[in-house]
Structure formats: structure tokens, C-alpha cells
Chains A and B, each alone.
Chain A
Amino acid sequence: MSPIITAQKLSHHFGEGRLQKQVLFDIDLEINSGEIVILTGPSGSGKTTLLTLLGGLRAAQSGSLKILDQEILGASKRALIKLRRNIGYIFQAHNLLSFLTAKQNVRMSLELHPHFLGQDLDAVASDMLTAVGLGERIDYYPAELSGGQRQRVAIARSLASHPKIVLADEPTAALDKQSGRDVVEIMQRLAKEQGCTILLVTHDNRILDIADRTLYMEDGMLMKPPSLGLAA
């Protein structure tokens, strides 16, 4: 299988001058198409920073980073925006637009892709919501949904346009055990159906088993997990 994400000697700094602080150190990473990879590590180790770099939300500073066969280091803002359209995000907070219904929220991601405009957007969005088990709640506003349901809308939104990569940052952190489990299982199922790649940051030991592979990060470096018990 060919790698869909390749990082070589990727480093990242925050701040400037004497306040400069390095948070990522020479990251080497390959993720293959269709893989589900979990990234864990202590708080402040640089997981979110790595994820924002992979997603084109932050400009890469040094080393090399190739996503979908495109070099990200030194890429233009336009190129980054284009890249973002091929990546689905799931945030710790659901970040749904509060003034849009579940269906309209999902549509917002479809409308970025010209080829969907030829289709019945409402039908595509409704199907997607049904797939995450929200067929009955299509026209609800986020305020009328539970935390787990909102997170499922967020999953529907990020997967509706069939992105090649899904990046998820602690998607289950705000959910109870059962809803958290449901949410990742939905993600896993849809990803397998669509053949998309998932990189998931989590502290939640109970969901490690859905991954094909687990990465561990500490102090800005990828390393072997401290105890074998953590690995699936």
C-alpha cells in the first residue's frame, strides 16, 4: 500500500526569539491509505499541533510533509484551502453551526464540492445522517440534540463528502462511555466502507482496539509506548 501521509524530519516551533519553543522534533511518519491510526500521549506532548499541520490548518516550518502526494511545506494559502476540502475533521467540541439544522450542517460540507451540486443535496445529507443513526433528527438544531448526537452530526458532516483522510482530535472526550464507543464504531464502519484513512488522537484507552496501529508521542517525539499494556 502507498502512504497517503508522509512526514520526514518534521519540526515545529511556537513563538519567536528568546520565547521560541520547539514542540515537534524530527517527526518521521507514514500512514497508508485506508489505515486507522490512533495517536496517544501525555497532555502537551504535541499531538494537536501535529494534527493541525497534517490538516493544512497551520503552515509547516521545516522538514518535509506530503499529503495526498502534495508537498505541504511552503505551499500557498490557496493550496492549503484546497487540501482542506479533501480532509474531514472531527473536533473535541462538535463546532456545529448553531443556526443550522443537522441536515444544513451536513450540506455545508457537501456544497464545497462542485460535483455534489448536481445531486439532491438534501437527500445525500439525509442519507448520511441516517447512516449515523440520526434519521429521526434530520431537522433538529444542535441545541435540541444530546452531546453524542451532536458528535454524530459532526461525523456525518466530515464524512459526507467522502474525504480521503479524516483527522479526529479527542472526539469522545466530552461523551460518556457508551456514546463514545458508539461514535468511534460509526467512524470505523463508515471509514471502512468509504476506504478512507483515519488519524485519531485520544486519551481513551477503551477505544484503542478499533485501530490498525497505535502511535505514541512524548515531548514532541514519536516513540515506543512506555508499557506494552497500552498497545492493542
Chain B
Amino acid sequence: MRRPNFLKKTPLAWLQVTRERTRLMVAIAGIAFADMLIFIQMGFEGALYDAAIQPHRNLQADLVLINPQMQTLFSVKSFPRNRLYQTLGHPDVASVSGVYIATGQWKNPATTQERAILVWGIDPANPSFKFPEVNQNLNQIQPLNQVLFDQAGRPEYGLTATEFEQTGAFATELNDKRVTVKGLFTNGASFAADGNVIASDSTFLQLFPSRSPDQLEVGLINLKPGADLEQVQAALAAALPNDVLIGSPEDFAQIERDYWANGTGIGFIFGLGVGVGFIVGIVIVYQILYSDVSEHLPEYATLKAMGYTDNYLLGVLFQESLLLAVLGYLPSIALAFGLYQLAFSATMLPIAMTTRRAITVLILTIMMCSISGGIALRKLRAADPADIF
């Protein structure tokens, strides 16, 4: 096979970028640094949202009922239990169950320090969550004051999984009442809750004596096999008064996500962080490209005098920026993997690399370098062969 002509030509951009090792290293370090900033910001932002909606996504239900005012687990709102029972009137609804949610005070037995924890009261006769460890241990929480504990929560609660597995028992006080941990599950800390505890509905009402059994935070609705989910949802929404909201668990999760993304300054702050990283990158790449172009101005002018077109030189500059983008991006993604791992073990936040984010940052890097190349281009236009004789 014959090599196409462009492969026979001297790769000017590559030779120029790689000739000066020190400058190349500085450029790579600069771009990688900017990319790291972006990766960290996006990583934490994504982890915050994922952690916040982890419980919602693990609810065992086709449809959920909530108070329309409820936006976040951080500040729950309740609705009358009768509304949930009303849905049983629909022929396609197979079963319903109620979930109580409240924030309790968990005492670390070692330090006697109390810490807020999210307490879920569920019907121990039916699975309310998808967590297999919870569903296997439902009979364990049937007796009063026995609970399941989220092992991915903050360590300040004083319970470590390895210790628990050895001794098989852990007792402490929740809302000043004695409780025993009978099993572990894995959900994880979020900005709304440092930890989670699952109890039976009866235990829940004991722990929170002021709570009325007739007020629920979440109603879980399971449909008969073959039922048309959208149709049932529309029918129920029409039939129910507007003191309740009906939707899929994912709708419920998105409400929580929107609360953190738009209802707080968090989304803006992370966006700002990404923007700063982006601008730092532009400045660094611009510095590199600008000094490259200025140093080689007479040489570029010579190329023009020989008969190379403006577009050729433009192409060289953009190839250079693209090369720098890729060379800087590669180490940054490797570093980001490591940092995510570090952040995960330090905070227990579900922080991980996603393909989508990797691609987004690659595109941002290429944009970053192209913008710098575009600004450096103005200098390139100054290469006038008439002035070099």
C-alpha cells in the first residue's frame, strides 16, 4: 500500500512541541494541573449528588408518594397515611407500604459523643429497599429496638464493620433509647446525612414518641406484573388530592438532586471551580504557545517566503495545541483515578471516574488549548516575510 502524501511530510507541530523538553514538561504539568482541578471539582460535585440520591434509587417500589413540599432528606415533610391506602383502590396496585424518616441522635459508645443520623422506619414484613443485606435481615429487626446500620457512613459513629463481624453485636443509644445493631448494609454518607439506620416502623415510633403513626414521609407503591406504569401513575395523580405527589423513585431522586444542585450554592461553587481550572489552563497553554510563536517568528516568516500558506501555519499551531491538550490530559486522568480513590476512602463519598466525565474533561481540554491557540494566532499573523530580508 502506498503511503498517503500527508504522512510523508515533516510533522512540524510534533517536532516543535517535542524539541524543547523542559518547555514541554512545563506545558504538560500546567495542563495536567488545570485538568486535575476540573476533575476534582466535577468528581466531588457528582459524588455529592450521587450520595444524596443513593437511598432514593434503592427504594423497592414502582411508584412513590411524597409530600409535594418535600425536597430533601435533610428536611423531611410528611403526608397522611390514608393517601397511600387510597391508591389500593386502583386495580393495578399490588401492595403498598409506608416509610418513616427522621433524624435521630446516635451515641458513640466509646466517646459518648452524639451525632445526627438518618433513621428509616420500614415495614419489616415487606422489602422496602433493594439492599440485599437489608432484605435478608428483615426478621432481625422485627423485635423492638433492633436496627441495621450503614457501614459506609462516617466512622465517628463508633462502629467498624470488622469489629462488628468478629463480635456480632453492637449496642448503643439512639435518641437516649437502647438499640442493638443486628446487621450491616452499605449506602454511604451524603451531605444530607452522615449515616443511616434502618429500623422497623414500631421501633421508629418508639424512638420518636412525638411522631404520629398516621403521618408518612414516603409511600411505596408496587404494581401488579404487566401493569402500565405511566398509565397507573397518571390515573393515581388524577385521583389523589394535591397534598401528595406521585412519581417514580427516580423522579423522587431528581427532586433531591435538584435541591442540592440549584437550591443551594453548591452547584454554583463547583461550577466556579471548573471555570477557574479552565481559565488557568488557557493561560498556561497560551503562555507556552505564545513564546513558541514569538521565538520562531522569523522562521515562520521564512516558511511563508518559501511558499507555505497562512493556513498551513495555522494548522501547525492548532496541531500543537491539540498535541499539548492530549499530552496534558493523559497524566491528569491517571492522577484523577488515584485522587478519587483517596477521596473515596477518606470521605466514603461515592466518588468515581465516569466515561462521561472523562470525555467531558477531554473536550474541555481541547477547547482550552484551541482558545489559547486562537489567541496566539494573532502573533503568528505578524510573521511577514517582507520584513525578514
A-to-B contact residues, CB < 8 Å: 48, 51-52, 55, 57-58, 81-82, 84-85, 89, 91-93, 95-100, 104, 107-109, 111-112, 114, 117, 121, 169
Contact = CB atoms under 8 A, between A and B. Distances in A.
Contacts of B308: 112
Given A117-B8, A121-B8, A89 B306 contact: yes
B302 interface: yes
B356 interface: no
B10 A82 contact: no
B158 interface: no
B310 to A, nearest CB: 9
B interface, how many residues as a size bin? 20 to 34
A99 B389 contact: no
A6 B335 CA distance: 65
A91 B298 CA distance: 11
Interface stretch (B12-20, B183-191, B357-365): B12-20
A100 B10 contact: yes
Given A104-B10, A117-B9, 16 more contacts: A81-B307, A84-B307, A92-B389, A95-B298, A95-B299, A97-B299, A98-B19, A98-B296, A99-B20, A99-B296, A100-B12, A104-B15, A108-B306, A109-B306, A111-B10, A112-B308
Contacts of B385: 52, 57
A117 B10 CA distance: 11
B386 A52 contact: yes
Given A85-B306, A85-B307, A51 B389 contact: yes
B386 A57 contact: yes
Nearest to B306: A109
Contacts of B5: 114, 117
9 contacts: A58-B386, A85-B307, A95-B298, A95-B388, A98-B19, A98-B296, A100-B12, A117-B9, A121-B8
B305 A84 contact: yes
Contact of B307 (A92, A104, A112): A112
Q: Which of B8, B16, B305 has the most CB of A within 10 A?
A: B305
Contact of A100 (B15, B301, B309): B15
Contacts of A99: 15-16, 19-20, 296
Contact of B302 (A95, A104, A107): A95
A219 B273 CA distance: 63
Interface in B291-319: 296, 298-299, 301-309
Closest 7 pairs between A and B when the two form their complex, measured CB to CB: A85-B307, A99-B19, A84-B307, A95-B302, A57-B386, A58-B386, A57-B385
Contacts of A121: 8
Contacts of B12: 97, 100, 108
Interface in B4-57: 5, 8-10, 12, 15-16, 19-20
A91 B388 contact: yes
A57 B388 CA distance: 10
A52 B387 CA distance: 9
A104 B16 CA distance: 12
Q: Which of B9, B10, B298, B308 has the most CB of A within 10 A?
A: B10
Q: Which of A55, A81, A82 has the most CB of B within 10 A?
A: A81
A45 B309 CA distance: 30
A172 B109 CA distance: 91
Contacts of B8: 111, 117, 121
Contacts of A82: 307
Contacts of B299: 95-98
Contacts of B302: 89, 91, 95, 97
B289 to A, nearest CB: 14
A52 B309 contact: no
A112 B389 contact: no
A160 to B, nearest CB: 11
A93 B306 contact: no
A57 B306 contact: no
A81 B389 contact: no
B305 A112 contact: no
B363 to A, nearest CB: 29
Given A52-B389, A91-B389, A104-B15, A111 B9 contact: yes
A58 B309 CA distance: 15
A108 B307 CA distance: 10
B156 to A, nearest CB: 57
A9 to B, nearest CB: 21
A81 B20 CA distance: 31
